[in-house]
Amino acid sequence: MEAVVVNALSKTYGQGATRAVDNVSFAVSKGELFGLIGPDGAGKTSIFRMLTTVLLPDGGSAAVDGLDIVKDYKEIRNRVGYMPGKFSLYPDLSIEENLNFFATVFNTTVEENYDLIKDIYVQIEPFKKRRAGKLSGGMKQKLALCCALIHKPSVLFLDEPTTGVDPVSRKEFWEMLRRLKEQNITIVVSTPYMDEATLCDRIALIQNGKILSIDTPANVVASYPDTLYALRSEPMFALLQAVEHYPHTRNSYAFGEYMHASFTDGVGEDEVKNYLREQGIAAVEMKKTTPTIEDCFINKLKN
C-alpha cells in the first residue's frame, strides 16, 4: 500500500516564468522514511505544500493515504501532520497551550495520543509554562514535532526540520524519527544536509524542480560511475587548483580533510602523481575512496 503517490506534479510561479516543480513523480510506501534531498530553491517546499493541500498544483496529480490532494483536501488535512520549514507555532502561547490547541483543533486530546509524543515531550516538559517564542531552536523543533504528531497522523511531512541546527541536535532529531518510524508512521522529510540522506529508507535527489534520481542510499552510492580518489597535501589550495587544471580530471572538489577527484578512463594513481610532481607537488597522499551521497549529488549536478 502506497502512502503517497505523486504523478507528474508541476507548479509554476510568476505566470509560468519559474518552474518550481517540474513534472515530478514518486511514490512512498506505508511506514517508509522517504527523503527529498536538495538545496534551497530545488522545489522541496512547493512539493510539501501541494501534498499537504495548502497549494494547488498546475499540473499532474497526487494522492495521500489514497485521497486526492485537490478533491479530498479536507479529509487529507485530518490525516497528515505537517511541520513547515519556518517555525509556525503561536509564539505567545506556552508549550502546553500550543500542544492543547493543536490537539483541540484536531478533535482529540493530548492524553489520547500521549504515547506517540511521550519520548519527545518529556524533553521539553520541564519548560511547559514557557512561551514558544522564548524557546531555543532545538526546543522549538521538538515542540513543533509534538504538535504535528498529536492527532496521530498517518503521514508526517517535515520540511527541513534540521536546517540551521547544530550537529548534536540534528543527530538527536533523526533518532526521534527512527523511533516514530517504528510506530508505522510514514515520514516524508526534506533536508539540504547530504549526510542525513543515509538515514532514510529511500531518497529522491532534487534540483531545479526536477528529480535527478530515486533509490535507496546504498544503491545511489553503488551506481556512482567512476573510481573516486581522495587526495591530500599541504597546502590544500595548491593541490585543488593543480588537480582542477589536469586535462584528465573529470570531477574535482574539496571534501573535508581531503579532496575528491575522478579521472578519465585509464588514468590512475601513477599518472596523477606524476603530473602533480611536474607541478611541484610531491608529497601527496592518494587513495581510492567510497563515494558518499554528496559525491553522487555533485556528479549528477555536473552531468
Partner 1 sequence: MTETVIKTDKLTKRFGDFIATNGITFEVHKGEIFGFLGANGAGKTTAMRMLCGLSKPSSGSAQVAGFDVYKQTEQIKRNIGYMSQKFSLYEDLTVVENIRFFGGIYGLSNADIKTKSESLLAQLGMESEAKKLVGSLPLGWKQKLSFSVAVLHRPKIVFLDEPTGGVDPVTRRQFWNLIYAAAQDGITIFVTTHYMDEAEYCNRISIMVDGKIEALDTPRALKQRYNTTTMDDVFYQLARGAKRSE
Question: How many H-runs (helices) and E-runs (strands) does the chain carry?
Answer: 10, 14
CA distance linking residue 258 with residue 291, whole number of Å: 13
Q: In this structure, what C-alpha cell is assigned to residue 139? A: 526546543
CA distance linking residue 121 with residue 141, whole number of Å: 11
Q: Closer to partner 1 at the Cβ: 25 or 163?
A: 163
In this structure, the number of other CB atoms found within 10 A of the CB of residue 166 comes to 10
- The percent helix, strand, coil of the chain (3-state, each to 5) is 40, 30, 35
DSSP secondary structure code for residue 135 in this structure: S
Q: How far is the CB of 199 from partner 1 (least distance, A)?
A: 13
Q: Are 27 and 5 contacting, i.e. CB atoms less than 8 angstroms apart?
A: yes
Q: How far is the CB of 169 from partner 1 (least distance, A)?
A: 7
Across-strand partners of 229? Answer: 261, 288
How are beta strands 258-263 and 249-255 bridged, if at all?
Answer: antiparallel
Write out the DSSP string of 220-248: HHHT--S--EEEE-SSHHHHHHHHHH-TT
CA distance linking residue 290 with residue 119, whole number of Å: 36
Q: Taking the mean position of all CA atoms in its chain, how far away is CA 133?
A: 25
Residue (of 37, 33, 30) closest to 5 by Cα position: 30
Q: How far is the CB of 92 from partner 1 (least distance, A)?
A: 19
Q: How far is the CB of 1 from partner 1 (least distance, A)?
A: 34
Q: Is 240 exposed, middle or buried (0-12, 13-18, 19+ CB in 10 A)?
A: middle
In this structure, the number of other CB atoms found within 10 A of the CB of residue 76 comes to 23
Q: How far is the CB of 177 from partner 1 (least distance, A)?
A: 18
- Which residues in this chain contact partner 1 in the complex, by CB under 8 A? 38-42, 136-139, 163-169, 171, 192-195, 207, 236-237, 240, 253-257, 294, 297-298, 301-302
Q: Are 229 and 260 contacting, i.e. CB atoms less than 8 angstroms apart?
A: yes
Q: Closer to partner 1 at the Cβ: 84 or 153?
A: 84
Q: How far is the CB of 143 from partner 1 (least distance, A)?
A: 13
Q: How far is the CB of 237 from partner 1 (least distance, A)?
A: 5
Q: How far is the CB of 215 from partner 1 (least distance, A)?
A: 18
Q: Closer to partner 1 at the Cβ: 59 or 256?
A: 256
Q: Closer to partner 1 at the Cβ: 43 or 81?
A: 43
